[in-house]
Amino acid sequence: MPENLIRLSKSVIGPEEKNAVIKVLDNGRLGMGSEVKKFEDLLSKFFDRPALCCVNGTAALHLSLQASGVGFNDEVLVQSLTYLATFQAISACGAKPVPCDVNKDTLTLDLNDASKKLTNRTKAVVPVHFAGDPGKLHEIYEFASSNGLRVIEDSAHAFGTKYNNQTIGSFGDISCFSFDGIKNITSGEGGCIVSDDMELIRLIKDARLLGIINDTNNRFSGKRSWNFDVSTQGWRYHMSDIMAAIGIQQLNKIDYFSRKRQDLAKKYDELLSFSNQISSFKRNYTSIVPHIYSIILPKTTKRDLLREKLYSLGIETGIHYLPNHKLSYYQNPRLGNLLNTEEIAPRLLSLPLHPDLNEEDLEFVVRSLIENL
């Protein structure tokens, strides 16, 4: 690894998170307890509606799909250009993810393509807020409403983002967030589900604890359920107090983290505006809190070679993402080509973005990128 590597992404933690974890360790109760309850209460206040914590963002999607009644041989519309986790959460329910194309300007779900793939087995649509951008989310909801579909938002990239002056997660059907180590806030691992659907919330409360009825209340009061019943399939998807302790401190810093990410993305936009070879996505970073910053390389660029050159200079880059319909497990030739996805995906490159970067770092990244194209 090069010395002084400018990392693609990283956890940004301080003494507050470390002290909070030590306090939990000293308490000796490391599992799901009072810290998780406190984190859920703070998240519910942040979104102004019920929020439930779980072990990661994939679990959040899986629990939400299951509680929405998505099951064997059902179909779920989702863009192919997303992390594998989105597809795995759908197939974990026994359902079939139906790969859809993306809008080339936002890399969010192309509703025109998705509407062509609607069948009588379609039960839900999963819009992915790529790089924190919700795209035209209101159109997704209009489409879902007219076709009787649940909307499960994959908001893993979008914690803190606003849409029409409303915080993502504070409205709509179901929103799922990730708190893994590199997200907009982290709990080390972790995730949460936000919804006003109280029956869905009830089902998820039990399902995250192996389906044990009302086990959440016992855990929050420091007890265990020794005599219990189970009425649905459950999973060991609960969050621990160690994770929640980190998350609580991170949530306190969301305003700073959001502004820093937005300022960095605006700086990238400014620096890249001088290049006629590189395309960037025109996002509104006054409302969008970006998790990643991706660009489109020239068609002639050998991306792997470019990444190696940049790494040798001390710059780590990423690829978001490999289209899921190209993976062996999810290939379905009957669905045809996804033209925008297949044209853009091989040219995508993600540049370093996290709150520990400064403008000088970004200037070096962009200068090195342009010089090595």
| pLDDT, tens digit (0-9, with 9 covering 90-100), for 98-113 | 999 999 999 999 999 9
Question: 203 and 259 in one domain?
Answer: no
Question: 204-215 b/e with 16+ CB inside 10 Å = b?
Answer: bbbbbbbbbbeb
- Domain boundary (251, 281, 296) is at 251
Question: 94 and 39 in one domain?
Answer: yes
Domain assignment present for 69: yes
Range of the domain at 302: 254-371
Question: 261 and 229 in one domain?
Answer: no
Per the rule left: phi > 0, alpha: psi between -120 and 50, beta: everything else, 20 is alpha
Question: 38 and 131 in one domain?
Answer: yes
Q: Read off the pLDDT of residues 286-329 as tens digits, 9 standing for 90 and up.
A: 999 999 999 999 999 999 999 999 999 999 999 999 999 999 99
- Token couple for 205: 């409360």
Question: 276 and 133 in one domain?
Answer: no
> Residue 335 in contact with residue 116, Cβ under 8 Å?
no
- The domain spanning residue 110 has which CATH number? 3.40.640.10
Domain assignment present for 75: yes
Q: Read off the pLDDT of residues 116-167 as tens digits, 9 standing for 90 and up.
A: 999 999 999 999 999 999 999 999 999 999 999 999 999 999 999 999 999 9
Question: 32 and 175 in one domain?
Answer: yes
Alpha helix ranges (H) inside 1-136:
15-27, 34-47, 57-67, 84-91, 111-116
Question: 318 and 194 in one domain?
Answer: no
Question: 39 and 150 in one domain?
Answer: yes
Secondary structure string (H, E, C) spanning 254-272: HHHHHHHHHHHHHHHHHHH
- Domain boundary (251, 269, 301) is at 251
Domain assignment present for 2: no
CA distance 361 to 358: 5
Residue 178, classed as helix, strand or coil, is strand
Q: Which of 30, 31, 37, 25 is nearest to 220 (CA)?
A: 37
The β-bridge partners of 212 are 230
Question: 266 and 187 in one domain?
Answer: no
Count of domains observed in the chain: 2
Q: Is the pLDDT of residue 16 over 80?
A: yes
